[in-house]
Structure 1
């Protein structure tokens, strides 16, 4: 839409319509003061709920005059926009933001900011509620229109969220060192053809080729640049309570998903304890079954709902348990009780990619060649090996229908015999 700058300028002269919104910004210090963030979020969500469109910032919507954006405010404006798309619209919007130098009618070159808003697969809520666009203005959706739109968009989501285009990301952010592990002898020779076939690159409604959500998560060095909550928060506590005063270790784990799984696994290894028992030969009893920890981490990362804003995978270690929080309800018609018996995936593309990532641990206690096996054995392994070690079955719990909590209980320390044949040592794994 409006691919050439001349075409965009001609449309600006004609004024706003269903697919074009013009905004003149006001500043207070080093911040955008007008329009208000909530109002801008409502406008962006209304466009995404209706059709693809373009916002042009730095143009007076009444006179259609290009006033431009001061060069020292360009980064401020971009940060302001990204914050609105990520924090004030649910699910978050993937908008493409570009800074364009144009020659105004007075012959002076000024910079405008172009924001491409794709027609979404989801119905977006903004601070004012649910809006759609009629002509050049937004309108609150009536219940019947909202219900119909939810139905239409749910049918359209045969294209899953993990396959959706991230229009704000350049295709160059997908690094060959990260995606070449997915290549096989039968893969296309052309890199672009291969990435499109694998759906790491996708085509949006306007025909633009850009990374998919899965492409960003698996083949971008810093996915958090485009998906801010796609990381693992890991914390280890000294006791049994969530208390910062007793925090032993903490780390936010970033990077591609396979790297996150590996680093989170190492975090647990580093912070758990191992009980050394002499009977008479030494035998090590780990605090947690690492095979279960691994399966739990893979499931949490692979099956979480990446469309939920403000939530990340949380890995919290205590002296008596590990708690693993994964954003999103249980997919489809599964229940807590049916988790060990059924198999369902929210992110088919992500799980297929993780199933092609080589297993990095040579001493892994289970039989596994790749990070994911896709046979539905993860939950049964978590339950059985953990219960065998600790004597207590792990527990799954759904919190507010928006987050799945898995609790894995720690092994009890062995009793200390009078001759000191049982000892307690930090992990050396």
Structure 2
């Protein structure tokens, strides 16, 4: 994020937004006199509770002028700032990067400033103003329902993970025995409800009434979207490389809303890609097919999209979009825990532990072109993203790209192989 001083300076001139906050530091009598510690603590907590961001100290936020901090007062400022993060936030903030850099003022003279890089925190932080969240360039109080969901995401509270929570409007007969019994691989004593509870497919609510859980509906219900409206994949194949703004329906080659249990959604989405991608034939070393995409990489990408997405975000579904030159997957939710885009290839984390456990019991679908060396959809060894990179880059000579859009949607771009004329 703003890797160079020039990029940071351009963003400062554009103004504050969700990822940038500027503050001028004022002094009086050998002490920092402004901004108030409570105010800067709210700003730090709000960014850490959201997608993270950068706070630049030494910039007038109204005029965007680089006013700097006197060199002799840099130590004083750093001590003041560290004390705020350690004493004004609950829990104290420990994951951050504080750097001294120089930025040019209006005359071109370099002025010392502090750059505070804040990642999205593993915790939910309370500041003097309460539980704050960054919304655009402003700081707002979190609504109770949003705060509860954030606690669940950050694994700080003792509340159940979202995929283990009951869905109050869903009746138990929404679960189909032909689907859930395949997960009961070990014979257990007790009723079917006892088995469903052990598998975290159903549970009692606060009034002791039984209901399916989110995992139960996603894995053991033929129509999960009846109760979780966004639990499906919207797949569209377009002509050309862009969506036509005037009449995009005229530019659609194929479109399908893919419903059903997640393992079936994964298989059907792979079939959609196989049906709509181009395949060339080569006779160089005997006839063999040259596809635009490696279906094994596509399978891994779709599996990750549906298993790690944030099902607590209402109104957003997994979107699969195919263009002539690329395939795009959009998965609701930020990156789990404290992972970064750069670490996705090397680290493993799961937002939905029960879902991934259940998918690890589902056999890999039989699809032509799918050459997976494992027997179940999930193996939980963290090899999915490396395979996406290796297999796709080998075929197209272009490295896939992950991007985080607006802090709450993960986009993966897989580039199509050039098939020639």
Correspondence for 1:387: 393
- Deviation, structure 1 residue 308: 0.5
The alignment partner of 1:353 has SS state of helix
C-alpha deviation, 1:280, in angstroms: 4.9
Task: Provide the rounded CA distance (Å) in 2 between the counterparts of 1:332 and 1:403.
Answer: 14
CA distance in 2, matches of 1:257, 1:303: 12
* C-alpha displacement of 1:200: 0.4
1:185 Cα deviation after fit: 3.5
Q: Counterparts in 2 of 1:219-234, with a 5 A limit? A: 219-234=220-235
Cα 1:275–1:147, aligned 2, differ >3 Å: closer, same or farther?
Answer: closer
Instruction: Tell me which residue corresponds to 2:406.
Output: 400
Alignment-derived partner of residue 199 in structure 1: 200
1:306 alignment counterpart: 311
Unaligned runs of 5+ in 2: 1-123, 125-130, 132-139
Equivalent position of 2:215 in the other structure: 214
In the alignment, the residues of structure 1 paired with residue 283 and residue 355 of structure 2 have an alpha-carbon distance, to the nearest angstrom, of 44
| 1:143 Cα offset (Å) | 5.1
Give the structure 2 partner of residue 361 of structure 1. 366
1:371 to 2:377 alignment: yes
Distance 1:391 1:146, change over 3 A: same
Find the counterpart in structure 1 of residue 324 from structure 2: 319
Q: 1:413 aligns with which of 394, 413, 419?
A: 419
**TM-score normalised per structure 2:** 0.62
Instruction: State the Cα deviation string for residues 26-85 of structure 1 (Å, max 9, x = none).
Output: xxxxxxxxxxxxxxxxxxxxxxxxxxxxxxxxxxxxxxxxxxxxxxxxxxxxxxxxxxxx
Conserved in 1, the CA contact under 8 Å of 2:184 and 2:199? Answer: no
Distance 1:254 1:247 in 2: 20
Q: Please name the residue that 1:294 is paired with.
A: 299
TM-score after normalising by structure 1? 0.61
* Cα distance in 1 between the residues matched to 2:416 and 2:142: 51
Structure 2 CA distance for partners of 1:345 and 1:149, relative to 1, 3 Å:
closer
Q: Which moved more, 1:177-186 or 1:306-315?
A: 177-186
Query: 1:250-289 to 2 correspondence within 5 Å?
Result: 250-289=255-294
Q: Matches of residues 59-78 of structure 1 in structure 2 within 5 Å?
A: none
- Show the counterpart of 2:336: 331
Correspondence for 1:165:
166
Does the residue aligned with 2:180 lie in a helix, a strand or coil?
helix
Report deviation, 1:293: 0.2
Q: Within 2, Cα distance between the matches of 1:168 and 1:206?
A: 14
User: For residue 84 of structure 2, what is the aligned residue in structure 1?
Assistant: none
- For residues 358-406 of structure 1, the C-alpha deviation after alignment (integer angstroms, 9 at most, x for no partner) is 1121653121201111110000000000000000000000001110000
Q: What SS does the corresponding residue of 1:156 show, helix, strand or coil? A: coil
> Whole-Å Cα distance in 1 between the matches of residues 189 and 183 of structure 2?
12
Cα distance change of structure 1 residues 188 and 289 upon mapping to structure 2, 3 Å threshold: farther
Give the Cα–Cα distance (whole angstroms) in 1 for the partners of residues 255 and 227 of structure 2. Answer: 23
SS at match of 2:264: helix
Partner-residue secondary structure (3-state), 2:348:
coil
User: 2:271·2:367 contact (CA, 8 Å) conserved in 1?
Assistant: no
Indicate the RMSD between aligned Cα atoms, in angstroms: 2.5
Deviations 1:257-306 (A, max 9, x none): 11111110100011111110111511211110101000000000000000
> How far has the Cα of 1:189 moved from its partner?
5.5
In the alignment, is the contact (CA less than 8 A) between 2:149 and 2:312 conserved in 1? no
TM-superposed deviation, 1:204: 1.3
- The verdict on how the C-alpha distance between 1:362 and 1:228 changes in structure 2, with shifts beyond 3 A counting, is closer
